[in-house]
Structures are given as structure tokens and as C-alpha cells.
């Protein structure tokens, strides 16, 4: 046993907690279904300019309000616009809002929560009381005010939604940081004289990515639903651009006469939300630190 | 000529705030440690031994007193100076399941201390890490594995290797074998003793288990409620324990001999007497030899015979009976 | 004989492997005695007792064998009957008292719960019984303590409360799973003294699970030594220490650090316990045993009598090739 390895390739790699978690994840059929479905859907939306049969703006009144058929696989709306195309383009908007707003909320939430959790004491009290106050703030009014005072833009939409969703992320991150902070390996890092920044980045953050990822995966559907809600109210994305929210609103207005206009966008949104939730749940089971300590 | 002791703790007092209550964990404790020696710090839960160990390493700010390492006052240093001293004094923690970062491989964990001072290539790192692992009885080909892939005893070996990686002069081991099975305990204790002898390390070994401490210590200090009640060379303390608390501790240790029922001698009915005595000896409420003076004045730690290093804080002993 | 356990085997059918936690274990418990089950982690001692009381989820766990208590086979009776016995006639005490109590309920509620759920009608009488049992465990001011929450108790006190909760239904058997491992030596000594006193008072039979042979020496009447799910030796305490009949037992005795022995030698058992998912042949301790020969790995591992009421599975001892 006195043999020493000469280079890194000679040493067999180990099974990180990620690897084991992914192994568990792969056994969850719903999550696999959700992942595959999402992947295909996102791919279609990304490739929309290449594969959409029509332009999303083209109005052809002679084809108005056609049910699903050979030339329009999901039918058309009263203005003759192809629904399938609009769903693809709408998906681009919905997904980008979902991802970007979530990214904003994760960034703010992680920074805020880590700060509060690491320093504790008075700093923590002040920071978390601010979060509590922000929670009580009525979201809709806040967004309406923003939209009224500033120009309506996608960027503003991201910011507004992100500004609301970071609150729960901050709470989750704070709780995780406070729990990890007392583990002895953090003391060991302090015992080496490492700087606070290094300790937070090297030792604390990698150990909280599990819950952060899980919660992010569950935030995306919440954000998409929020965007749909705002668009439904007329506060979100403006025509001629469409999002699933707008499509659902328009579909709801004519749902008795032209049901396909509601059914398809509704299905697209709901199946996406289901998939994200399946994935989030499976991630939570897979990455639960307790189950990794068999 | 009196030489500077390697480690000199002077009148250290450390307290905690629990909500509104202030709890003094370490009360005016002084001790010295010579280079290359091991001090066993023994006591039951709440006696302050862990707080003392952590305060020596400056993990916890003390209220008053000094900690002098090779003459340098650690308690008076600013963060930058202290951080330069930190690699010289390392801790081995009790819980092997919480003292290693679960997201880092053994290679990462052991190379972190090595890389603090110098930039080292990955190849050299692997060599040094291999040496550390062999020294602590681990297989170097496991260095890319993660902590959860090892048993409790192996994790503790990794923790020991990490402490050694920084090339420390002082190592404080806080109950390093308490969470391990008896047979694994023996392995780890043997390892610690071997390292201590080969590397001439100075060690403080904290434990509630006197039988474990005996195996590894040169000197022993017994703590009770934040104070040292008896201190002396290991063999002397065991062959001639003086303080009533030390005697109680010794008699309560399970012995692998069916003819000795160790637990019958302890007084079952008086466990929950409140500890607080205003001015007197903290042990007076439980002590079978209590005298009037015990309730009035706190006994000081005094040498027992003029020749030895055996000290005891007890009015009965110090009065010469 | 109050409990007759025969050929218990417990297997965990997990996705990655089948874990044989307990393999063909048999032992008896007699009225009024203290039986020690000794083993390190992974020996199967805790799983054994959980299997007896039906505390393991049936898939993925499969249990075979018999455990006769009062003409009932605990492993082959309906769950209603098992629930009537468990918590009532056979009780368990655990290592960590703080996890045995609900932090949101006062102690009174938790102490009377075993009584009420087993048919005790009068709440007032139950509370009185709870107070009495607390005072018998020597907790000071039992009337006041009864209405406090678990977090207001110290570790040693909470352990006493747990013992009280286990005794309140006047059980016939108490299974104590490492009840003093997390406690200081002096607290441990007092708890053991208390348990002995209560055992005499209530005519209890105790199964005491531990890894510390020192406790066994002073506290237990008979001992079962387990390793890797298998019983290696069963004997009275005196015989176990004075006429040790298995190398593993001998090794365990030697690795307990003692304040009497010489400072130079701290015996350690080389190697590690075997992987429970791998099926073994022969003696499971053989790979680490200093006395092993070829036949140790090949022959069937069974308990056989080597002296009066002294059983061992070491084939070399049984064939008088080895004396320890």
C-alpha cells in the first residue's frame, strides 16, 4: 500500500453527491417525461423562425377562424393568424420571461440570503424584516404602478417579476446558510485562515446549490404563470408580440365558438407547468441530503 | 532561567450569551503546554473543555485573559496577523460526518491547507496528498472520492490528515474518537499517538472519557463547571487522584471485568442539585467531604507536593489532610 | 423463558443491493434477567430489535423466523395484536431522548399516551400514574416537571423521563437501545443504577443493546455477541469474560481502553467489518481473525454448545483446537 499515484488519471474518480442525486433522478419516470417534453418544446420554440409555417404577424382574413386542418395544424384565429406559429413564438416569450425573471430572482435572493445568513445578528434581523415587509406588499398594484410610470417593456417585466420572486429564495438561502454555517468544516476553513469570501464561495455556496436549484425549477412555472396573468390583464407583453398568456386571453374570449384557440395554448402552458413541477419534485427527492447519507 | 512555555493560557475567561442569560463557560483558567507534549483535557458535558479548546484557537472571543503561543499573544492580534498564525494551530473535530465538506474530494480537502502559502502544481499536490494519506493509513488511490464514500473511522483519518497538511505546531483534538465504535477508536488513538511521537507535535486532547485520555496524554487537567480542579502528570493522576470529582469520574468508568460493578458507587439521588454557590467551591453541593470553608471561599489550584507538577483545587487537600 | 427468538433473518431489498442485516439469529430471554446484545455498528443489533417489534417497513424489508412471547409469534401475528403488545408489554428505550419526545407536547401528554392508547379509561388516574413514575425515576419536583416541555429538561433528566414512559404501562420486557451512549460517565452510572433498581421493583426483563463491553460486564446477566448480522457467542457474563470462547469477543475485550492496563498496548482489530450486501460463507470474522485457518472460511457458521449454557460459533474452539 505504499504505492503512490503518479498523475491524476491513474486515480479513479469518486461519486459526488450530484452523481448520486442524478442517479436517483433518472429513476423518476415523471421527471424523465417532463424533461424530454420540455426539451422538445423549448427546441421547437427556439427554432421557431426556421420551422414555423407562417410568420406570426401574417393576417389572412380569408383563412379566419379555421379549425385545425391540413394547412393550419392548430387552426387560425379570427384575424387569420396561424395558431401553431403564434404558440411557438409565444413560447419564446414565455420561456424567456420564465428564465430571465427567475435568474434575476435567484441572483438577488442568493446574495441577500447569504449575507443575512452568514452575518446573523442585527444585520440578519434588519434584512429579513425588510423581506417580511416586502412580502406584505400587494404585487399587482406594484406592477401596475411600474407599468404606468415607465414604458412597457420586456425588460421591465423581467425586473418587476424578479423583484417579487426573490423574497422566498432569500428566505430559503438564509436558512440553508445558517444551517451550514455551524458545520465543523466551516470552522476548519476558518482555522486555516481563509478569507470570508473564500469560505462563502468555496464552502458555503456549493452546499446550498441543491435547494437553490430545486426552488429555481419551481419558480420558473410560477413566473410563467405570473406573466400569463399579467398579459391576461393587458399589462404584460404587447401585441403584435404574443405570449401564451395573451393567447389564452384571446382564446378565452372566443372559447365557445372557437375552442381550439383556448385549448392549444392552454395545453402548452399547463403541460409545461406540469413538467417543471415534476422535475422540481424529483430534484427535491434526488438532492435531499438526508437520503444521500445511506 | 525560565523558558517560555510553548503554549501559555493565562487567566482565560470565556462566556456566551444565551438570549438574555450570560453563561460563563470558562472561568479564569490557566495552563501551560510544553513543546512536543500532550495535555489531556477531561470533563463532562458543560464543563467548558470544548469552549476552552476553541478559544485557544481563537474561534471564540474571550472576555479576558491571554493565549500565548511561543510567546505571541494570539488574543491581541488583528485578523490579518492571526490568519498568518492559524495554519500553525489546527483542530480535529468530534463529528466526522460534519467536519468534511461533502462537495469536496479528499484531494480538494487535503490540498487546500497545502496551497495556502504556496502555489503548487497539481502533480506536486498529488504527491504531497499521497504522503499525507499514507501517513494516516488511507489508500492514496481513494483521493478523488467524496467524504460520504468513507466510513466514520476513515473520515476521521481524513480530518487528521487535513490537520497535518498545514504543518501545524499545535493540534487540538476535540473528542476525536467519541463518535466511533470501540474497535475503530483503538485504531484512531494509535494513529494519533504515532503521529504525535513521530512529528513531535504538541497536542491538547479533549475528551470526557478518562480511559481514552490516559492512553495518549503526558499530563491531564480535569475540568468542572469551567474551572480546572486537578492537574498533573498522567500517571500520578491515575494512581493518586486527589480531588473528589476526579475520584468520582474514575469510579464511574465501565470496566471490562464482571466482578466490578462500577455504577453502584455513584450517588443516584443527588444528581440534580443546583450548581450555583455564590462564593465557594463549585463542587461543594455534591462533595461528600464538604467543610464549612468550602461554601465560603473558592479553593485555589495549588501544588500538592513541592516537587511534582500535581495541582489540586480543594480545601481538604490543600490543608494537608 | 419470556421471549424465545428463533432463526430471525432480516433482509432489506434495496434498489442497489440486498442487505442481509440479520442472519439466522436465535436467543432466549428469561424472566427477570438482563440480556446484553453487544456489537459494533453494522452488527445488526438494532435491526434485530426493530424486527422483533415490527418497526421496519414490510417492503422493502423481509423478515423470517419466529419470536414467541406469551404464546404469540410476534413475527406472525396480525398488526392489531402486535400493537397491543408493543408499547404495552414490550417497550423500547432509545439512545437519543430528545428525538423520542415530541417537542410541542408537554411531558404529561406524552407519558399518559401509552396508557390511554392501550385502554386506560381515566385521564385523571393516568396523570397520577405519570407523576408517580416520574418520582420513581428520581426526577426532582415531579409534579412541576410533569407539565413542562422536553426542551426544559437536561439530557440525563430526559433519559429518565423516557425510562419512565417505557415503564408506565408495567411492561414485561424493556428493550434499551444504547440508552447511555450519549451520556457522560457519571450520568450513565446513575441511569444504570436507576434501571437496576426499577428492574427489581417491577420484575422486568431487560434487553440491553450496547457496543461497550465495560457496561455489559457490570450490568448484564447474559450476553449475546453479534457481528455482521450473526451471533458469534452467547454466554453468561462471567463465562464470557473468564472463559471467552470466540476470538472476536476476545478482541473486543482487549480493545476497551482501561485505566488498569499498561499504557503501551492499545489493541486494535485490523481491517473492517464486511459489506452487508455481500453474502458470505463460513465465519464472517475470519478475514480479520488472528487465529483463522482454511476451514474457518469454508465450514458452515453455526452456534454450538461449548460449556454449560455457553454457545459459540468458532469452529476451532468447538473442536478444542483453540483456547482463549
Closest residue, chain C, to B46 (C-alpha): C184
Q: What are the residues whose beta carbons fall under 8 Å from the beta carbon of A37, sequence distance 6 or more?
A: A271, A275
User: In angstroms, rounded to a whole number, what is the distance separating the alpha carbons of residues A4 and A6?
Assistant: 6
Judge whether A10 lies within some domain. no
Interface check B122 vs A, CB under 8 A: yes
Greater model confidence, A131 or B287? A131
Q: Tell how strand C18-29 and strand C304-307 pair up.
A: unpaired
**Range name among A16-20, B91-95, C246-250 with the lowest pLDDT average:** A16-20
Contact C203, C34 (CB under 8 A): no
Contact B149 A15 (CB under 8 A): yes
How many structural domains are present in chain A? 1
Interface partners of chain A (CB pairs < 8 Å, 3 or more) are B
pLDDT tens readout for residues C230-250: 999 999 999 999 999 999 999
Phi-psi region of C289 (alpha: psi -120 to 50; beta: other; left: phi over 0): beta
What is the SS3 assignment for B265? Answer: helix
How would you write C228-261 as a 3-class SS string? Answer: CCEEEEEEEHHHHHHCCCCHHHHHHHHHCCCCCC
Interface mutation target, options B138, B256, B286, chain C, most CBs of C under 10 Å:
B256
Q: Provide the pLDDT for residue B2.
A: 57
Closest residue, chain C, to B234 (C-alpha): C263
Interface check B117 vs A, CB under 8 A: no
With contacts defined as CB-CB under 8 Å, which chain B residues touch A203? 101
Q: From the CB of residue B251, how many other CB atoms can be counted at a distance below 10 Å?
A: 18
Q: Provide the pLDDT for residue B273.
A: 63
pLDDT tens readout for residues B185-237: 888 998 999 999 888 899 999 998 888 888 889 999 999 989 999 999 998 88
Mean pLDDT of C302-313: 89
Our measurement of the distance from residue C175's CA atom to the centroid of its chain's CA atoms, rounded to an integer in Å, reads 6
User: In angstroms, rounded to a whole number, what is the distance separating the alpha carbons of residues B166 and B118?
Assistant: 11
Which backbone phi and psi does A214 adopt, to 5 degrees?
A: -60, -50
- CA separation, residue C47 to residues C2, C22, C25, C102, C272 (Å): 20, 7, 12, 23, 20
Mean pLDDT of B252-259: 82
Q: Provide the pLDDT for residue A76.
A: 83
User: Cell digits for C173?
Assistant: 420486557
User: In angstroms, rounded to a whole number, what is the distance separating the alpha carbons of residues A214 and A176?
Assistant: 13
Which backbone phi and psi does C235 adopt, to 5 degrees?
A: -165, 170
According to the CATH classification, is domain B7-101+166-239 in 3.30.470.20? no
Q: What are the residues whose beta carbons fall under 8 Å from the beta carbon of A196, sequence distance 6 or more?
A: A118
Judge whether A12 lies within some domain. no
Closest residue, chain B, to A292 (C-alpha): B148
Contact C187 B44 (CB under 8 A): yes
With contacts defined as CB-CB under 8 Å, which chain B residues touch C187? 44, 271
Mean pLDDT of A175-181: 92
User: What is the span of the domain harbouring residue A81?
Assistant: 18-48+77-287
CB < 8 Å from B in window 237-256 of A: none
pLDDT tens readout for residues C266-298: 777 887 788 888 877 888 998 888 888 888 888
Q: Provide the pLDDT for residue B34.
A: 92
User: In angstroms, rounded to a whole number, what is the distance separating the alpha carbons of residues B282 and B301?
Assistant: 13
Interface mutation target, options B258, B264, B266, chain C, most CBs of C under 10 Å:
B258
Mean pLDDT of C158-186: 90
Q: Provide the pLDDT for residue B134.
A: 92
User: In angstroms, rounded to a whole number, what is the distance separating the alpha carbons of residues C179 and C167?
Assistant: 14
**Range name among B254-263, C111-120, C141-150, C181-190 with the lowest pLDDT average:** B254-263
Provide the β-strand partners of residue B303. B311
User: Cell digits for A177?
Assistant: 446558510
**Range name among A18-22, A232-236, B34-38 with the lowest pLDDT average:** A232-236
Contact B44 C186 (CB under 8 A): yes
Contact B103 A183 (CB under 8 A): no
Provide the β-strand partners of residue C219. none
Q: How far is C252 from chain B (nearest CA, A)?
A: 7
Domain ranges of chain B: 7-101+166-239, 241-321
DSSP character string of B210-247: HHHHHHH-SEEEEEETTEEEEEEEHHHHHHS--SHHHH
CB < 8 Å from C in window 134-173 of B: 151-153
Contact B142 A193 (CB under 8 A): no
Q: For chain C, what is the mean pLDDT?
A: 88
| Helix residue ranges, H only, chain C | 45-52, 79-85, 97-100, 107-117, 123-136, 142-146, 155-167, 185-202, 213-219, 237-242, 247-255, 294-298, 315-318
Residue A82 maps to which CATH number?
A: 1.10.3720.10
User: In angstroms, rounded to a whole number, what is the distance separating the alpha carbons of residues B10 and B8?
Assistant: 6
Q: Provide the pLDDT for residue A294.
A: 32
User: In angstroms, rounded to a whole number, what is the distance separating the alpha carbons of residues A206 and A177?
Assistant: 11
User: Cell digits for A137?
Assistant: 406588499
Interface check B188 vs C, CB under 8 A: no
Judge whether A27 lies within some domain. yes
Interface check C212 vs B, CB under 8 A: yes
Strand order in the sheet with B21-33: B21-33, B7-18, B64-69, B72-73
CB < 8 Å from B in window 2-61 of A: 2-8, 10-17
Contact C241 B209 (CB under 8 A): no
Contact B177, B11 (CB under 8 A): no
Contact A148, A212 (CB under 8 A): no
CB < 8 Å from B in window 18-37 of C: none
Report all structural domains of chain C as residue ranges with CATH numbers, in order of start: 3-89+169-318 (3.40.50.300)
Interface check B60 vs C, CB under 8 A: no
Interface check A290 vs B, CB under 8 A: no
Closest residue, chain B, to A10 (C-alpha): B141
Contact C212 B182 (CB under 8 A): yes
Contact A15 B140 (CB under 8 A): no
% chain B with pLDDT above 90 = 44
Interface check B272 vs A, CB under 8 A: no
Q: From the CB of residue B117, how many other CB atoms can be counted at a distance below 10 Å?
A: 12
Residue A289: pLDDT band with limits 50, 70, 90:
low
Q: How far is B78 from chain A (nearest CA, A)?
A: 12
Interface check C128 vs B, CB under 8 A: no
Mean pLDDT of C10-14: 90
With contacts defined as CB-CB under 8 Å, which chain A residues touch B143? 5, 11
Interface check A288 vs B, CB under 8 A: no
Judge whether A11 lies within some domain. no
Contact C217 B271 (CB under 8 A): no
Q: How far is C270 from chain B (nearest CA, A)?
A: 8
Judge whether A154 lies within some domain. yes
Interface check A185 vs B, CB under 8 A: yes
User: Cell digits for A263?
Assistant: 385549448
Mean pLDDT of A69-92: 84
Q: Provide the pLDDT for residue B113.
A: 92
Read off the DSSP letter of residue A74: T
Query: Positive or negative, the Cα torsion across B132, B136, B140, B142?
Result: negative
Interface check A203 vs B, CB under 8 A: yes
Q: A58-75: string of b/e by CB count within 10 Å (b at 16+)?
A: eeeeebebbeeeeebebb
Q: Provide the pLDDT for residue C300.
A: 79
Residue A159 has pLDDT above 80, yes or no: no
Closest partner CB to B254 (pick from C138, C155, C212): C212
Contact C119, C169 (CB under 8 A): no
Residue A136: Cβ-neighbour burial (10 angstroms; 0-12, 13-18, 19+) = exposed
**Range name among A35-44, A83-92, C259-268, C307-316 with the lowest pLDDT average:** C259-268
Q: Tell how strand C230-236 and strand C222-227 pair up.
A: antiparallel
Query: Positive or negative, the Cα torsion across A185, A186, A187, A193?
Result: positive
User: In angstroms, rounded to a whole number, what is the distance separating the alpha carbons of residues C70 and C88?
Assistant: 13
Closest partner CB to B116 (pick from A7, A15, A192): A192
Judge whether A56 lies within some domain. no
Read off the DSSP letter of residue C151: G
Residue A65 has pLDDT above 80, yes or no: no
Q: Provide the pLDDT for residue B99.
A: 93
Q: Provide the pLDDT for residue B1.
A: 45
Residue A134 has pLDDT above 70, yes or no: yes
Q: From the CB of residue A184, how many other CB atoms can be counted at a distance below 10 Å?
A: 20
Winning range, highest mean pLDDT, from B257-271, B300-314, C105-119: C105-119
Contact A207 B105 (CB under 8 A): no
User: Cell digits for A187?
Assistant: 470552522
What is the SS3 assignment for C65? Answer: strand
Q: Which candidate, C78, C186, B129, places its Cα nearest to that of A6? A: B129
Closest partner CB to B112 (pick from A3, A192, A289): A192
Amino acid at each position: 500500500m505504499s504505492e503512490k499515484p503518479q498523475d491524476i488519471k491513474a486515480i479513479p474518480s469518486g461519486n459526488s453527491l450530484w452523481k448520486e442525486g442524478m442517479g436517483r433522478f433518472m429513476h423518476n419516470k415523471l421527471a424523465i417525461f417532463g424533461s424530454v417534453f420540455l426539451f422538445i418544446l423549448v427546441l421547437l420554440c427556439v427554432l421557431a423562425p426556421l420551422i414555423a409555417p407562417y410568420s406570426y404577424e401574417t393576417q389572412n382574413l380569408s383563412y379566419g377562424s379555421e379549425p385545425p386542418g391540413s394547412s393550419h395544424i392548430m387552426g387560425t384565429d379570427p384575424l387569420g393568424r396561424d395558431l401553431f406559429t403564434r404558440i411557438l413564438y409565444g413560447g419564446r416569450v414565455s420561456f424567456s420571461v420564465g428564465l430571465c425573471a427567475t435568474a434575476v430572482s435567484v441572483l438577488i435572493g442568493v446574495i441577500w440570503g447569504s449575507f443575512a445568513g452568514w452575518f446573523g445578528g442585527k444585520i440578519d434581523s434588519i434584512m429579513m424584516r425588510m423581506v417580511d415587509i416586502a412580502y406584505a406588499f400587494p404585487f399587482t398594484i406594484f406592477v401596475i404602478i411600474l407599468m404606468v410610470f415607465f414604458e412597457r417593456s420586456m425588460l421591465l417585466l423581467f425586473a418587476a417579476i424578479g423583484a417579487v420572486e426573490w423574497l422566498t429564495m432569500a428566505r430559503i438561502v438564509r436558512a440553508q446558510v445558517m444551517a451550514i454555517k455551524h458545520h465543523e468544516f466551516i470552522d476548519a476553513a476558518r482555522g486555516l485562515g481563509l478569507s470570508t469570501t473564500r469560505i462563502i464561495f468555496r464552502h458555503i455556496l456549493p452546499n446550498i446549490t441543491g435547494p437553490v436549484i430545486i426552488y429555481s425549477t419551481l419558480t420558473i412555472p410560477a413566473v410563467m404563470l405570473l406573466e400569463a396573468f399579467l398579459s391576461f390583464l393587458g399589462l404584460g407583453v404587447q401585441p403584435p408580440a404574443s405570449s401564451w398568456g395573451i393567447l389564452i386571453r384571446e382564446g378565452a374570449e372566443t372559447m365557445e365558438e372557437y375552442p381550439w384557440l383556448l385549448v392549444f395554448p392552454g395545453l402548452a402552458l399547463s403541460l409545461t407547468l406540469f413538467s417543471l413541477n415534476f422535475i422540481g419534485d424529483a430534484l427535491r427527492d434526488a438532492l435531499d441530503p438526508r437520503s444521500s447519507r445511506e | 532561567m525560565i523558558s517560555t512555555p510553548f503554549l501559555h493560557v493565562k487567566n482565560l475567561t470565556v462566556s456566551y450569551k444565551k438570549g438574555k442569560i450570560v453563561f460563563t463557560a470558562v472561568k479564569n483558567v490557566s495552563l501551560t503546554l510544553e513543546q512536543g507534549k500532550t495535555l489531556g483535557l477531561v470533563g463532562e458535558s458543560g464543563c467548558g473543555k470544548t469552549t476552552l479548546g476553541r478559544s485557544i484557537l481563537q474561534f471564540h472571543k474571550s472576555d479576558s485573559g491571554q493565549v500565548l503561543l511561543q510567546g505571541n499573544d494570539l488574543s491581541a492580534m488583528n485578523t490579518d496577523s492571526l490568519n498568518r498564525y492559524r495554519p500553525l494551530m489546527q483542530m480535529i473535530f468530534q463529528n466526522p460526518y460534519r467536519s468534511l465538506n461533502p462537495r469536496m474530494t479528499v484531494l480538494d480537502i487535503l490540498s487546500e491547507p497545502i496551497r495556502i502559502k504556496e502555489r503548487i502544481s497539481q502533480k506536486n499536490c498529488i504527491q504531497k496528498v499521497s504522503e499525507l494519506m499514507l501517513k494516516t493509513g488511507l489508500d492514496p488511490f481513494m483521493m478523488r472520492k467524496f467524504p460520504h464514500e468513507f466510513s466514520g473511522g476513515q473520515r476521521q483519518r481524513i480530518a487528521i490528515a487535513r490537520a497535518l497538511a498545514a504543518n501545524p505546531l499545535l493540534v487540538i483534538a476535540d473528542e476525536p474518537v467519541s463518535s466511533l465504535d470501540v474497535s475503530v477508536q483503538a485504531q484512531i488513538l494509535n494513529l494519533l499517538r504515532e503521529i504525535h511521537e513521530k512529528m513531535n507535535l504538541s497536542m491538547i486532547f479533549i475528551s470526557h472519557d478518562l480511559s481514552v485520555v490516559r492512553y495518549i496524554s503526558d499530563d491531564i487537567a480535569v475540568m468542572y463547571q469551567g474551572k480546572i480542579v486537578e492537574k498533573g502528570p498522567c500517571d500520578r493522576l491515575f494512581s493518586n487522584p486527589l480531588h473528589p470529582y476526579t475520584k468520582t469520574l474514575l469510579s464511574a468508568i465501565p470496566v471490562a471485568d464482571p466482578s466490578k460493578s462500577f455504577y453502584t458507587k455513584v450517588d443516584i439521588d443527588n444528581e440534580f442539585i443546583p450548581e450555583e454557590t455564590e462564593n465557594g467551591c463549585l463542587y461543594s453541593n455534591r462533595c461528600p467531604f464538604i467543610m464549612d470553608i468550602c461554601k465560603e471561599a473558592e479553593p485555589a489550584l495549588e501544588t500538592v507536593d513541592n516537587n511534582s507538577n500535581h495541582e489540586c483545587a480543594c480545601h481538604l487537600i490543600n490543608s494537608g489532610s | 423463558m419470556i421471549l424465545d427468538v428463533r432463526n430471525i433473518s432480516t433482509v432489506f431489498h434495496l434498489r442497489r443491493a440486498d442487505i442481509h442485516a440479520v442472519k439466522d439469529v436465535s436467543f432466549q430471554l428469561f424472566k427477570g434477567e438482563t440480556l446484553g446484545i453487544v456489537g459494533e455498528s453494522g452488527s445488526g443489533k438494532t435491526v434485530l430489535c426493530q424486527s422483533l417489534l415490527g418497526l421496519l417497513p414490510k417492503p422493502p424489508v423481509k423478515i423470517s423466523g419466529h419470536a414467541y412471547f406469551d404464546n404469540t409469534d410476534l413475527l406472525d401475528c396480525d398488526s392489531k395484536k402486535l400493537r397491543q403488545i408493543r408499547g404495552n408489554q414490550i417497550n423500547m428505550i432509545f439512545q437519543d431522548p430528545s428525538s423520542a419526545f415530541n417537542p410541542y407536547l408537554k411531558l404529561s401528554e406524552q407519558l399518559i399516551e401509552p396508557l390511554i392508547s392501550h385502554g386506560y379509561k381515566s385521564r385523571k388516574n393516568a396523570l397520577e400514574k405519570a407523576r408517580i413514575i416520574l418520582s420513581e425515576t428520581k426526577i426532582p419536583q415531579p409534579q412541576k416537571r410533569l407539565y413542562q416541555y422536553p426542551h426544559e429538561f437536561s439530557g440525563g433528566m430526559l433519559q429518565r423521563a423516557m425510562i419512565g414512559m417505557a415503564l408506565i404501562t408495567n411492561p414485561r420486557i424493556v428493550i434499551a437501545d444504547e440508552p447511555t451512549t450519549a451520556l457522560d460517565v457519571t450520568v450513565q452510572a446513575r441511569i444504570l443504577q436507576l434501571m437496576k433498581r426499577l428492574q427489581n421493583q417491577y420484575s422486568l426483563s431487560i434487553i440491553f443493546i450496547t457496543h461497550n463491553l465495560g457496561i455489559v460486564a457490570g450490568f448484564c446477566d447474559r450476553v449475546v455477541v453479534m457481528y455482521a448480522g450473526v451471533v458469534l457467542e452467547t454466554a453468561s457474563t462471567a463465562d464470557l469474560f473468564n472463559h471467552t470462547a470466540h476470538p472476536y469477543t476476545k478482541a473486543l475485550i482487549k480493545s476497551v481502553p482501561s485505566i488498569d492496563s499498561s499504557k503501551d498496548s492499545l489493541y486494535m482489530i485490523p481491517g473492517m467489518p464486511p459489506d452487508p450486501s455481500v453474502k458470505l460463507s463460513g465465519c464472517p470474522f475470519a478475514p480479520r481473525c488472528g487465529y483463522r485457518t482454511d476451514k474457518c472460511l469454508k465450514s458452515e457458521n453455526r452456534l454450538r454448545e461449548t460449556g454449560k449454557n455457553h454457545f459459540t460459533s468458532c469452529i476451532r474452539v468447538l473442536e478444542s483446537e483453540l483456547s482463549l
